[in-house]
A and B are shown apart, each in its own frame.
Chain A
Amino acid sequence: MKQSNNLLAGSTTLLVLSLLAPGDKYGYEMIAALEEKSDHTFTLKEGTLYPILHSLEKEGAVSAYEKEAPSGRKRKYYAITPRGRRLLEEKRSEWQSFSKLVNAIVAEGEGLLSPV
């Protein structure tokens, strides 16, 4: 089953920053990593990645530089900045409290008591 893109939309910043946290990546590399990790469940419209990256760059959450990729072609790499790491922490805790809340409501709806 493919996830609805609406669910993804609010969390793209979190996804992008999480992908950059372990190391610098160029655009396609991030899409490939996202698909691989989500077992092809998440299919972001690939073009929309770039406005996200450019707005994060404008905010100073990521920085960009040009480098030759292992394939020998020039690629624009993105790196997470200290400000980006702080933003990632914020988004992560936001996501955790949000998913806890959703889980609690879903569990109640199923007629079960919340495990917490």
Chain B
Amino acid sequence: MTIPDYCAAVCRFVRFSPDHAAITAELTAHLEDAVGARESRGVPHEQAVVQAVDAMGDPAEVGKALDALHSPLLGWVQIWVRRVLVLCAVLMLLPALTGLWTLSKTFVPQEHPAQWQSTQTGEALPGLPIRNAAKHSGYTLSLWDGVRDGDTVALLVRLEHFSPWLRSPSEWAFQSLTVTDNVGSTYINWATAQEAHLEEFQVYASSNGRYDTFFSTYFTLTVYNVPPEADILTFTLAQSGEPFSFSLPLNGGDGHA
């Protein structure tokens, strides 16, 4: 009987097959050592193998004893418990990974805000951007870009909020902006129009989220019915906390009036 034959004869009695490899490795190592020891005493290889295998005893006896210790039920239960635990860990990690992926995407805007102007019609307003035009309770407001198309002025506003405790602002905060100009007109904002059940409104805030990142949010403020003689629009938010306001020059002194 050769070494592999002996190991196979033992394993035939061990029902829990996943342990066969380990048992074979251990018995093979033992037999190789035993053969080596006999060879070093001058026993020829063939004879040394026969003696070493013989010294191991009845493979059936060894196999049956090992089978009793390597219980198939317990073994499979252990294997399945391990598999289920690994599966659970993977299932728990997956949403965390997708969450991380979504979070990482919020640091980069889907589109660069410089693209905004190509989505608008009309003439670009001069003197923009005006950075840090106003500060209010942790938010910093910049006038990023703007166009004037006939009597309509559209303005892209950026709100930065570096503190992670601050909520991302929503466009609702801007629906109640009070907008006036230097020729004495006051524009009706969307919130006022809603309250008074008016169909017409002249100031409307919107956001499409396309340029937003984790720390900055962009809004478009659109003001309708701006007379050609208006040079400056003044935006005031008096609704909550400290009021703040900022002005938007409409003409860059190029004689357009």
Contact = CB atoms under 8 A, between A and B. Distances in A.
Interface of A: 26-29, 31-32, 43, 45-48, 50-51, 54-55, 58, 71, 73-76
Contact of B29 (A32, A45, A46, A73): A73
A47 B33 contact: no
A31 B59 CA distance: 17
B177 to A, nearest CB: 73
A47 B10 CA distance: 9
B29 A47 contact: no
Contacts of A45: 55-58, 61
Nearest to A74: B29
A36 to B, nearest CB: 11
B100 interface: no
Contacts of A48: 57, 61-62, 65
B86 to A, nearest CB: 22
A54 B29 contact: no
B69 A27 contact: no
26 contacts: A26-B29, A27-B29, A28-B29, A28-B30, A28-B37, A31-B30, A43-B55, A45-B57, A45-B58, A45-B61, A46-B34, A46-B57, A47-B61, A48-B57, A48-B62, A48-B65, A50-B26, A50-B66, A51-B68, A54-B69, A54-B70, A71-B36, A73-B32, A74-B29, A76-B22, A76-B25
Nearest to A28: B33
Contacts of A73: 29, 32-33
A72 to B, nearest CB: 12
A76 B24 CA distance: 12
B39 to A, nearest CB: 13
A47 B56 contact: yes
Interface string B66-100: 10111000000000000000000000000000000
